[in-house]
Amino acid sequence: MATYQLNVNGQRKQVNVDPSTPLLWVLREELKMTGTKYGCGISACGACTVHLDGIATRSCVVPVSLVGDRSIVTIESMAADPVGRAVQDAWVDKDVVQCGYCQSGQIMSAVALLNATPKPTDTDIEESMGGNLCRCATYVRIREAIKSASQQIK
Amino acid sequence: MRAAVELEKQVQVNRRSFLQVSAGAAGGLLVSLYLDVPAFAHEGNRAQPAKVYPPDAFVDIRPDGKILITVNRLEFGQGVQTSLPMILADEMDADWSQVIADLAPAADVYKDPVFGIQMVGGSGSIAHSFQQYRELGAKTRAMLVAAAADRWRVSPAQCRTENSVVYGPGNKSARYAELAKDAASKAIPEQVRLKNPSEFHLIGKKVLRLDSRPKCDGSQKFGLDLDLPGMKIAMVAHPPVFSGKVKSFDDKDARTLDGVREVFEIALSKGSGVAVVADRFWTAKQARDRLKIDWDLSGIEHPDSSQLWSKYQELVRMPGNIAVSRGDEKAIDKIAPANRIVAEYEFPYLAHTPMEPLNATVRFDGDRAEAWVPSQFQTMDQMAIGEVLGLKPEQVTFHTEFAGGGFGRRAVIDSHVPREAASIAKRLRGTPVKLIWTREDDVRGGYYRPMHAHRVEVGIGPDSMPAAWRHVIVGQSLVAGTPFAAMLIKNGVDETTVEGTADTSYNLPNFHVTAHNPTVNVPVLWWRSVGNTHTAYVMETLVDELATRARIDPIEYRRKLLKPEAKKLRSVLDLMAEKSAPWRRNLAQGHAAGIACHECFDTAVACAVDVSIENKRPRINRATLAVNCGLAVNPLTVESQFQAGVGFGVTQLMARGAITFKDGRVEQRNFDGYTPPYIMDAPVTADVHIVPSTEAPTGCGEPPVPVISPAVVNALSKLTGKRYRSLPLVSL
Amino acid sequence: MLRYRAAGLAALFVCAFAAWLIVSGAFVHGHDARRTTASRAEGLAAWDQVYSVLTSPRCINCHTATNYPQQGDERHRHFANVVRGPAGKGVPGLNCVSCHQETNADSTGVPGGHNWHLAPLSMRWQDINDQPLSSSAVCRALVDRSKNNGMGGPELLKHNQEEALVLWAWNPGRRPDGSLRTLPPMSHAEFVSATRTWVEGGTPCPQGK
């Protein structure tokens, strides 16, 4: 066990865990933040996506010992983020979700895309979202919602 | 998801202000409406007075005006937590902006009126509960009106309702929230007038989902997210070959980890495994990885894919048990070989892999238990937990959690996941135990869509239409040896093996379908659309091949081949043809159009896809879908189900879309080896067109799935000149 | 008369060869005061060794000609549809560093190293069908300064000695199942030594396509 000081959604959090614990499980179990999901544990599905220093990161494969003082941003803070909010509103407006389990990760990836590329092409969307799995396959509406959010963002 | 304490409070509030609907009355009315029922209904399901399991409310009108409608289904993506409340709210004239929904716990009153158990499956949620929820809404309204009429000393006929308000003569009005208490004391009417469809203000309209925002902001809780005071995490090491047993195990290494609580052997549905209980997920996983288990794998079949295929190829050449026999079984032999097609198909085992890994949480308190399960099979799961714990079902408070997908995986006859959780909880009395299956457990854990072989001989008549059709199917039975066997196995044939072929709407003379249901040591299960997953593929690719041979347009050929009474299929073929004609006539270079149509669960679907080949894979540039599901309760839900359902169906085409066995062991472990469709594998766009209809609503959960694979390969065949009779599509 | 012509030809050949040697930079100065030359033959033999490392999975998986990396000893396409992106670092939402951190994460089975990214297309060692390029083709790519970021012999040696992602190949971490990833066919020291010999031999490349 070791103690880590984490910067989560702008707040300092202290946890005491096995260093090898993936950041995903630190968020979910130590900090009770269950918005970030476990889908596969091998970074193949993207349900666990958070932002580390602004970079979309798959928290299921990053041991907490490798996080350091990088800022961790999770789905829970997206409503307060202008791009995050635009994406969530587009998701609701376009009725994207079905079971919803993958959507935290989809939204985190989409926000990372729009932060870097505010007016993404279809190819940009497909490449950036190409690693996020949705078993309900809501992909058609995900594409539409990203384009819609992109139009809302100044 | 609620903690036990919260639920208690909830129940008390409910008893003060909700309208209790007697299950007897609802059941009685429903019997008369569902006399000709599909597959599952039988004598035993009808007119049974429900036992009372608290809580049993459908509508809770709160003092603040919010209306909580309880949904008697699991919500796992299909949108039922919005569409069922829509139905009730419409008849009730409730203010939709004030409607919230929750998922019913396990209780008799929430059983599917047709199937007689509480469940989601068979695409039956709306089909079976449409009338039920309409009546609930109408009765609630009637009681509110009666209360207002009383208060104003007028007759109910002088009142009208709108947006959660009762209006009386003069300027009288009263909000539902004000009237709820009085209304609760009114007699529940035996008969109510239901709205004329022209009066609907919600049903038939596009209504946004109620659960969108929480699913977008991380606040929606699924079964896996449950957190209870004192809760422990459990994982089970399962035998590497199904039904294997533990011989011995060494947990010394495992127990050195901080936070490991218990390690012990448990019995499984078949065989045994080793359970690990720890404070945290990561601890449990690491501890389990460190276990050294000596397995007894003797005396059980070690499934091996190549051996199984050899066996299936033998079986498929022999007639099986008869599913359908029309006309002359030998007619095909009399047709010249030049006018015969012999087609052999292979379909692999498929895993469901819903996005949320399987889980169940149970707390055993000696004379009671409480369970939280994202379950498609509440009645069965509640019973199973009770059985393991030595309790009656009514002693198990069973909460239905939101599920991250299911596709059939959470409706298991042997309730193996809740049973595992209960077995472990039994040992840790008073402690809530959350059992989690990792993704590896899920991919390797069985309960697959079975592998199948088909062998079809088609004799072609001088008019280019089939003159004889002899069809053998080989695949494991889904229900043999289970309580569902009596219902589904006829003449030694599991109906789910042949559905989609045996009940085809094509006019096939001299039609002979037989099947073999071999026993294999692999647990199997219904996978979204069940038998139609493979039968529709065979029918729609073969029919397409016949059309090509005859040089007849594939849509036209199907029109000719369909029975005249196949009204729904004809309607969707026509609508799809009309809506897709503009782009089908204008295909880009290197693109081809593929067609398929199929009816299952009483809903007909026709599909046209624009396919090209990119990076050696099929690219589905566009799908045009026509649907006949009777009255579309929420056209937005229907649109979503079909746009996305076809994307789910592409699972069957993925290069790494097969579960295979070598020496008894599953060769795949996670999404790297068993890979479902990502965004680029699904259609880029999909336009959905609903045939206008006032007929009773039929299901949309499964009907999208069977059409996409044959449509895509029918297009591919045009591009490559090849026929694709073996799935998955490893190469083109 | 023939003898004189033969001698003259021989002399011409020797001069030409010497000139060629000089032009091709065979005499490397500056990094080592010892006598550090190797023959061309020795250089070619050393190159064979270098080539065997470069085309081993831990190296070649990121030297692709396609818009994706490979993974595993079977060198299949990397899962989750990760792509090269404009700078070989992936794309927003799906960067290399979305998963690959600065060091190996053995507990989750993901390899890591400083600045994890794909080698540029100019440094591809495979064809678009994921087949390794020939020894001569890889060699030519390696010594082409217009392709290798301007590196000459000494820089190539330093790269193989010190570059973090090169060193990673000998410390590739554990797979998710706990097993150690397969190492290159020789130790890092042997690889450096072979590189040195190759450089000292004039970074010769084998003939052929």
Residue-range domain boundaries for chain B = 6-43, 52-212, 223-299+358-436, 316-349+448-720
Q: What is the pTM of this model?
A: 0.92
pLDDT given at position C14: 62
Given a contact cutoff of 8 angstroms between Cβ atoms, the answer to whether B575 and B491 are in contact is no
Compute the half-sphere exposure of residue B47: CA atoms within 13 Å on the CB side of its CA. 5
Residues of B in contact with A101 (CB under 8 A): 222, 354-356, 404-405
Q: How many residues does chain B have?
A: 732
Please say if the pLDDT value at position B698 is more than 60: yes
Q: What pLDDT is attached to residue B97?
A: 98
pLDDT in tens, B458-513: 999 999 999 999 999 999 999 999 989 999 999 999 999 999 999 999 999 999 99
For residue range C52-73, list pLDDT tens digits in order.
999 999 999 999 999 999 999 9
Count how many pairs of residues, chain A against chain C, have C-beta atoms within 8 Å: 85
CA of B282: which chain C residue's CA is closest? C107
Residue B274, helix vs strand vs coil: strand
In this structure, how many other beta carbons lie within 10 angstroms of the beta carbon of residue B371? 30
CB neighbourhood size of B261 (10 A):
18
Strand order in the sheet with A2-8: A11-17, A2-8, A71-73, A49-52, A55-58
Q: Do C81 and B680 touch (CB under 8 A)?
A: yes
User: For residue A58, what are the domain limits?
Assistant: 2-75
For chain B, counts of helices (H) and of strands (E): 19, 29
Partner A contacted by C144 (CB < 8 A):
no
- pLDDT number for residue B89: 97
Tokens, residue B694: 């006032």
Q: Which residues pair with B598 in a beta bridge?
A: B605
Domain shared by A67 and A95, yes or no: no
CB-closest option in B289, B672, B680 to C79? B672
**Angstroms from A4 CA to nearest CA on chain B:** 17
Residue B303 makes CB contacts below 8 A (sequence gap 6+) with B241, B242, B520, B521, B522, B661, B664
Is the minimum CB–CB distance between A63 and chain B shorter than 8 Å?
A: no
Cβ pair B647:A138 closer than 8 A: yes
User: Where does B52-212 sit in CATH, by number?
Assistant: 3.30.365.10
Smallest CA–CA distance, residue A64 to chain C, in Å, is 10
Q: Is C94 in contact with A109 (Cβ distance < 8 A)?
A: yes
**Contacts of residue C80 in chain A, CB cutoff 8 Å?**
43-46, 130-131
| pLDDT band per the 50, 70, 90 thresholds, residue B525 | very high
Distances (CA, A) of B37 to B45, B116, B532, C19: 11, 12, 19, 95
Per-residue pLDDT at B40: 35
pLDDT > 60? residue B31: no
Tell me the C-alpha distance between A18 and B279, whole Å.
Answer: 12
In the predicted structure, residue B10 carries a pLDDT above the cut 50: no
Q: How confident is the model at residue B191 (pLDDT cuts 50, 70, 90)?
A: confident
In this prediction, residue C28 carries a pLDDT of 45
DSSP B484: T
pLDDT of residue B9: 37
Which pLDDT tens digits describe chain A residue by residue (154 residues)?
999 999 999 999 999 999 999 999 999 999 999 999 999 999 999 999 999 999 999 999 999 999 999 999 999 999 999 999 999 999 999 999 999 999 999 999 999 999 999 999 999 999 999 999 999 999 999 999 999 999 999 7
The residue among B617 and B9 whose pLDDT is bigger is: B617
Q: Which CATH architecture group holds B316-349+448-720?
A: 2-Layer Sandwich (3.30)
Note the pLDDT tens digit of each residue in B103-113: 999 998 999 98
A46 and A88 belong to one structural domain:
no
- Indicate the SS3 state at residue B75: coil
Q: Which chain A residue shows the shortest CA-CA distance from C95? A: A56
pLDDT tens for each residue of B370-404: 999 999 999 999 999 999 999 999 999 999 999 99
Q: Which of A41, A75, A109 delimits the end of a domain? A: A75
Distance CA B722, CA B713 (A): 9
**Which amino acid, residue B408?**
G
Mean pLDDT rounded to a whole number for chain B: 92
Euclidean distance between CA atoms B290 and B281, whole angstroms: 14
B11 has a pLDDT exceeding 70: no
Tell me the residue ranges of DSSP E strands in B386-534: 396-400, 433-436, 452-460, 466-475, 489-490, 493-494, 511-516
Same domain, A132 and A105: yes
Helices (H), B205-326: 212-217, 252-255, 281-290, 305-315
- pLDDT for position B28: 22
SS3 C4: helix
- Predicted ipTM beyond 0.90: yes
Q: Is the peptide bond preceding residue B728 cis, with omega within 30 degrees of 0?
A: yes
Query: Number of C-alpha atoms within 13 angstroms, CB side, residue C29?
Result: 1
Of A39, A91, A95, the CB nearest to B355: A39
B250 inside 8 A of chain C by CB: no
Work out the pLDDT band at B184, boundaries 50, 70, 90: confident
Question: What's the confidence (pLDDT) of residue B188?
Answer: 84
Residue B300: strand, helix, or coil: coil
Q: How many CA atoms lie within 13 A of C3 on its CB side?
A: 0
Neighbours of B (≥3 Cβ pairs closer than 8 A)? A, C
Q: Under an 8 A CB cutoff, do C80 and A44 touch? A: yes
- Maximal C-alpha separation, chain C: 78
Contact of C56 with C184, CB cutoff 8 Å: yes
Question: How close is the nearest chain A Cα to the Cα of B675, in Å?
Answer: 9
Domain identity same for A143 and A111: yes
Cα separation of B522 and B451, whole Å? 10
CATH number, position A53: 3.10.20.30
**Side-chain-side CA neighbours of residue B69 (13 Å):** 28
C186-189 — which CB contacts under 8 Å span 24+ positions?
C186/C49, C186/C52, C186/C53
pLDDT above 90 as % of chain B: 89
Question: pLDDT tens, C159-194?
Answer: 999 999 999 999 999 999 899 999 999 999 999 999
Question: What average pLDDT does range B684-698 have in this prediction?
Answer: 97
Instruction: Report the pLDDT value the prediction gives residue B21, as an integer from 0 to 100.
Output: 31
> Would you call C143 an interface residue with chain A, using a CB distance cutoff of 8 Å?
no
pLDDT: which is higher, B685 or B52: B685
Q: How far is CA B664 from CA B245, B303, B446, B481, B522, in A?
A: 14, 4, 12, 22, 9
Q: Where are the domains of chain C?
A: 2-77+118-200
DSSP B552-607: --HHHHHHHHB-TT-HHHHHHHHHHHHHHHHHHTTPPTTEEEEEEEEEETTEEEEE
Q: Which of B432, B357, B227 has its CA nearest to residue A33?
A: B227
As to burial, measured by CB atoms within 10 angstroms (0-12 exposed, 13-18 middle, 19+ buried), residue B240 is middle
Q: How confident is the model at residue B185 (pLDDT cuts 50, 70, 90)?
A: confident
Q: How many CB atoms lie within 10 A of CB B491?
A: 10
Residues 21-50 of A with CB under 8 A from B: 21-22, 25, 28-29, 32-42, 44-45, 47
A83 & A107 share domain = yes
Query: Could you check whether B223-299+358-436 and B316-349+448-720 share the same CATH topology?
Result: yes
Averages of pLDDT over each 10 residues, chain C, 209 residues? 58 62 49 66 97 98 97 97 98 98 97 97 94 96 93 95 97 95 98 97 93
Model pLDDT for residues B100-159, shown as the tens digit of each residue: 999 999 998 999 988 989 999 999 999 999 999 999 999 999 999 999 999 999 999 999
Contact B683, B623 (CB under 8 A): yes
B311-366 confidence digits (pLDDT tens): 999 999 999 999 999 999 999 999 999 999 999 999 999 999 999 999 999 999 99
Task: Please write the tens of the pLDDT for every residue from B251-296.
Answer: 999 999 999 999 999 999 999 999 999 999 999 999 999 999 999 9
Query: Is A149 within 8 Å of A89 (Cβ atoms)?
Result: yes
* Nearest of A68, A70, A32, A30 to residue A50 by alpha carbon: A70
Closest CA to C59 of C160, C200, C192: C160
**ω before B55 within 30° of 0 (cis)?**
yes
pLDDT band per the 50, 70, 90 thresholds, residue B19: very low
Indicate the fold that domain B223-299+358-436 takes in CATH.
Aldehyde Oxidoreductase; domain 4 (3.30.365)
Closest alpha carbon within chain C to A50: C98
Cα distances from B467 to residues B254, B456, B558, B597, C168, in angstroms, run 66, 13, 15, 21, 67
Residue with token string 């495994």: B273
Pairing status of strand B67-71 against strand B99-103: parallel
Paired with B130 in beta bridges are: none
Beta bridge partners of B402: B222
Distance of CA B31 to the CA centre of its chain: 24
For residue B43, what pLDDT band results from cuts at 50, 70 and 90? very low
Could you tell me if B264 lies within 8 Å of chain C, comparing CB atoms? no
Q: What are the chain C neighbours of A22 within 8 Å (beta carbons)?
A: 107-108
How many angstroms separate the CA atoms of B68 and B99, rounded? 6
In tens, the pLDDT along B532-561 reads: 999 999 999 999 999 999 999 999 999 999
Last residue of a domain, one of A75, A104, A139: A75
Neighbours of chain A (3+ CB pairs under 8 A): B, C
CATH of the domain at A143: 1.10.150.120
What residue of B is the nearest CA neighbor of C68? B615
What pLDDT is recorded for position B596? Answer: 98
Chosen for mutation from C68, C79, C83, C175 (greatest number of chain B CBs closer than 10 Å) is: C79
| Sign of CA pseudo-dihedral C115, C118, C121, C123 | positive
